[in-house]
Structure 1
Amino acid sequence: MTSGIQFDPEAIRKLAEILRETDLTEIELSEKEARIRVARILPAVTVAAPVMQAAAPLAALPAAAPVAAAPAADPSAIDPKNPGLVTSPMVGVAYLSPEPGAPQFIQLGAKVAQGQTLLLIEAMKTFNQIKAPRAGTVTRILIETGTPVEYGEPLVLVE
């Protein structure tokens, strides 16, 4: 600070305290020729996407296992005007369970009620619930957990 302007160290400490209390990352004040900016750098947060570990266990399952392999269904084989087709309302990353290791919201063949949560789409660090447009049976799951999805992309078929 070669400008000759003196800053009150206690005022700087109070500004830093405000940053911590409010979860702000910076505060800047200016008065006449003086300007003070207090900023903090937050540690980078690494979010690990849930990993599908179904490949090895499916091989060991009895004959019912091929039904569980349906999440890899081809979305192009579905009529886009089907009233039970649930499409992505946003760009993001789709998750079939509320957290890693938790049971999925839906399974193939499961009965769902209108408004029931089918999956989550994370967009801009916000998890958005995607709900069933009507009651019915889940006949196709067209995405896998951790799959990036686009607006309008088919996700689930409820018939």
Structure 2
Amino acid sequence: MADKKPGIDKTLIRDLANILNDTDLTEIEIEQEDIRIRVSRTIATQYVQAPVAAPLPVAAAPVQAAVAAPAAEAAAAASKNAVTAPMVGTCYLAPSPGARAFVEVGGTVKEGQTILIIEAMKTMNQIPAPRSGKVVEILVQDGTPVEYGEAVMIIE
């Protein structure tokens, strides 16, 4: 019979951490005999500025072109203040059904404050505010799916 190796297998932990990095999982847990090892990480959120489409030129109506320019400027201003989804999943605006929303339009938030939750692969991921400011608009509804990089909120 072989004696059990004392301590924790650090190679196994490194292998599990590499699996997390390779698969973009947030946590992994294994159990062998009487040892259970769980490795988890927080997701580094990335905020990507959404590209803004330029208005198409309108030859017959110069008045419409003049109206489209302020709309494009508003879209550009909104996109630089937009908070985007750092992952694909289902967006929740409150911590539980029937609970008060994390933030409301007109309210102020501090950098790092949870503004919503995105459920991905049955894991609830709290999404922090990237900056302090006033919530101008919430672009998603509670329980709706979001895509990576989709604007979910505007904070000025």
What TM-score does the superposition give when structure 1 sets the normalisation length?
Answer: 0.50
Residue equivalent to 1:158: 155
- Deviations along 1:83-132, one digit per CA (max 9) or x if unpaired, are 43110111100000000010000000001001111000000000111111
Name the SS for the 1:138 alignment partner: strand
Does residue 79 of the first structure (1) align with residue 114 of the second (2)? no
- Deviations along 1:63-98, one digit per CA (max 9) or x if unpaired, are xxxxxxxxxxxxxx6338844311011110000000
Q: Distance in 2 between matches of 1:128 and 1:148?
A: 14
Does residue 120 of the first structure (1) align with residue 117 of the second (2)? yes
Preserved CA contact (<8 Å) 2:78 2:154: no
Cα distance change, pair 78–101 in 1 and its aligned pair in 2 (3 A): same
Residue equivalent to 1:143: 140
Q: Distance in 1 between matches of 2:85 and 2:75?
A: 15
Preserved CA contact (<8 Å) 2:95 2:102: yes
Query: Structure 2: 5+ residue runs without aligned partners?
Result: 1-29, 31-73
Structure with higher Rg: it is 1
Please, which of 88, 91, 96 is the counterpart of residue 94 of structure 1?
91
- Deviations along 1:28-81, one digit per CA (max 9) or x if unpaired, are xxxxxxxxxxxxxxxxxxxxxxxxxxxxxxxxxxxxxxxxxxxxxxxxx63388
Residue equivalent to 1:111: 108
Cα distance change, pair 83–114 in 1 and its aligned pair in 2 (3 A): farther
1:33-48 correspondence runs (5 A): none
Residue type at the aligned position of 1:117:
T
Q: Distance in 1 between matches of 2:145 and 2:108?
A: 26
Q: CA RMSD in A?
A: 2.3
Q: Distance in 2 between matches of 1:125 and 1:155?
A: 20
The aligned length equals 86
Name the SS for the 2:76 alignment partner: coil
Preserved CA contact (<8 Å) 2:82 2:155: yes
Name the SS for the 1:94 alignment partner: strand
